Amino acid sequence: MVKPFDKMEVEITTEEKILIAARKVFIEKGWDGARMQEIADNAGINKALLHYYFRNKEQLFKRVFAGIVSKLIPNLNTIIQSEQPIFEKIQAFIDAYLDFLLANQELPLFVANELSRNANLIVGAFEENGLKPMIGKMVMEIFQAIENKQIRPINPAHLLMNIVSMCVFPFMGRSIFQKVLMQVPEEMYQELLKQRKKEIYEMVYHSIVL
């Protein structure tokens, strides 16, 4: 049966409502801090219905977690796979990474946290999506760029570590940065974050260019 036009696109299934609520609560509170009741409240339903859709907390969590992981990696892999000169590729990588981070600021801390408490979470997430980050290709290209005298000799693993660190840490360690080290108000910190794309690329560029 066809639904009336004004009800068609707007509708969100209960399952979606639950996943949205669960995502929010899990990210905010972590596995240990998240409460099924709070998820139900956030989804506007009651606990029994929650268990009707997802048998238990673990199943719901895994579903949320897999959903999160599957969002970032394909994005980065396309860039890594692409054919462009090393400096352009690095810049594209930083750009894409920061776009994602700016739109999902609380994600890195959540992922690091859950991953460190449950190592095989990532295995499950990978298996479910069939995606893995292709870091090997990047390492190769850095080696080539060194041979071609495009950049100074540098250990590619550390260069990549440095780039990723500069991208992610201001988000993941936000509480430390903002409250402990810099002690700036929220809006100012957001302003800093927006400048990172440019600042990181310049840092990397100057540190490797010959």
Partner DNA sequence: ATCATATTTAACCAAATGGTTAAACCTTTT
Partner DNA sequence: AAAAGGTTTAACCATTTGGTTAAATATGAT
Interacting residue ranges for a copy of itself, rule: CB under 8 A: 29-30, 32-33, 106, 108-109, 111-113, 115-117, 119, 122, 133, 135, 152, 154-155, 157-162, 164-166, 168-170, 172-177, 179-182, 192, 195-196, 199-200, 202-204, 206-208
Nearest distance from C-beta of residue 206 to a copy of itself, angstroms = 4
34 binds DNA (CB under 7 A): yes
H or E element: which one contains 160?
helix 156-172
Measured CA to CA, the distance from residue 110 to residue 69 in angstroms comes to 11
Q: Which does 177 bind (CB under 5 to 8 A by kind): DNA, a copy of itself, none?
A: a copy of itself
In DSSP terms, 151 is beta-bridged to 209
Nearest distance from C-beta of residue 31 to DNA, angstroms = 9
**Backbone phi, psi, residue 22, to 5°:** -60, -45
CB atoms within 10 A of CB 54: 20
Measured CA to CA, the distance from residue 10 to residue 24 in angstroms comes to 21
Answer for which of 30, 42, 47, 154 binds DNA (CB under 7 A) is 47
- List of residues 6+ apart from 137 with CB closer than 8 A: 80, 81
117 binds DNA (CB under 7 A): no
Angle at 136 between CA 132 and CA 140, to 5 degrees: 155
Nearer to DNA, 25 or 163 (CB): 25
Positions that interact with DNA (CB under 7 A): 1, 3, 14, 34-37, 45-49, 51-52, 55-58
